[in-house]
Amino acid sequence: MNYHWDWLFFFQEADDGLMYYQWVLSGLGWTVAVSLTSLAIALLLGSAFGVMRTTPNRWLIAIGDTYVDVFRNIPLIVQLFLWFFVLPELVPRDIGLWMKQDLPYFVTAVIGLGLFTGARIAEQVKAGINSLSRGQRFAGLALGFTEWQTYRYVRLPMAYRIVLPALTSEAMNVYKNSAVTYSVGILELYFQYKQIIEKTSQVLEITIVITLAYFVVAFATNRLFAWIEQRSRVPGMIAGGQGGK
């Protein structure tokens, strides 16, 4: 193969005075920032909508179901484009201008990715709550808990433990999905990947490095969740898991 391997290009200076390996590191930083922020938003939204879908209230269920259906059935890149290019045109002119000019890309991207991931987490949370026996809720109500208190003290603590493995893979998916935010101007890892290829044509080296970088962050997340799983395990419960083994 007449491909010219050159691992040292990472230490060459790019147009902006930084070296290419620094581009990779800055991309990695943005990827982690976007992913973790989106994951936090997604956990909040997913929990709220997931809980709503298990309440006895017909309207709350309908709202929760609609959220999940809408955000699961439209591709992520289309959702991001809706937030970035369609929403500013639909709101009043002043707000639209503000969104286009002053609102940092990061905020819009993170909300977009958060809403997308939240729908998946809502599905998991709902499944977790529904996997508990009805008696758990009845027992809570019999103790004089309000409906909300049965969630807070009885059902959610168990449900979260049950869905932790599923949440782990969602958390790892967020890193992969965060790559799509390059399309709306976030300078994350994939954006840098594309940019470095355009500048240097060292496709193979950079592909290997970026792949490893994604692998490392996903693996670190996996270990973190395994640790949480182990620490939060309830002795004697199978659902507590084996700490991600």
Partner 1 sequence: MGDFDFSIIATNWRFLAEGLRYTVQVTLTAMVGGILLGTLLALMRLASLWPLQWLAAAYINFFRSVPLVQVILAVYLILPLLLQFLTGRLIPIGADNSAYFTFTIFEAAYYAEIIRSGIQSVPRGQVAAGYALGFTYSQTMRLVVLPQAFRNMLPVLLTQTIVLFQDVSLVYAIGATDFFGAADKITQRDLRPVEMYTTVAVVYFVLCFALSRLVKYLQSRIAIIR
Q: What residues line the site for partner 1 (CB under 8 A)?
A: 1, 3, 69-70, 72-79, 81-82, 85-86, 89-90, 172, 175-180, 182-183, 190, 193-194, 197, 203-204, 207, 210-211, 214-215, 218-219
CA separation for the pair 178, 176 (Å, rounded): 5
Q: Which two tokens stand for residue 41?
A: 């938003």
Q: Could you tell me the smallest distance in angstroms from the CB atom of residue 154 to partner 1?
A: 30
Closest distance of CB 157 from partner 1, Å: 28
Rg (CA), the chain: 22
Q: Which is nearer to partner 1, 51 or 210 (CB)?
A: 210
We find the least distance from the C-beta atom of residue 76 to partner 1, in angstroms, to be 8
Shortest distance, position 193 Cβ to partner 1, whole Å? 6
Distance between CA atoms of residues 188 and 38, nearest Å: 14
Query: Which residues lie closer than 8 Å to 230 by C-beta, 6 or more apart?
Result: 241, 243, 244
In the complex, least distance from residue 81 CB atom to partner 1, rounded to whole angstroms: 5
CB of 139 to partner 1, least distance (A): 31
Residue 132 or 197 with smaller CB distance to partner 1: 197
For partner 1, the closer of residues 1 and 238 by Cβ is: 1
Nearest to 37 by CA among 151, 202, 177: 177
- Nearer to partner 1 by Cβ, of 127 and 141: the residue is 127
Q: Which are the contacts of 208, defined by CB distance < 8 A and separation ≥ 6? A: none
Q: Closer CB to partner 1, residue 23 or residue 151?
A: 23
Contact 205, 5 (CB under 8 A): yes
Question: In terms of Cα–Cα distance, which of 212, 186, 210, 184 is closest to 196?
Answer: 210
Round to whole Å and give the CA distance between 145 and 133.
Answer: 17
Please, which residue, 96 or 149, has the CB nearer to partner 1? 96
- Residue 19 or 197: the one with the smaller Cβ distance to partner 1 is 197
φ and ψ at residue 13, rounded to 5 degrees: -85, 135
Q: How many CA atoms lie within 13 Å of 139's alpha carbon, on the beta-carbon side?
A: 8
Q: In the complex, what is the shortest distance from the CB of residue 150 to partner 1, in angstroms, rounded to a whole number?
A: 28
Query: What gap in Å lies between CA 139 and CA 142, rounded to an integer?
Result: 5
Cβ(151)–Cβ(126) below 8 Å: no
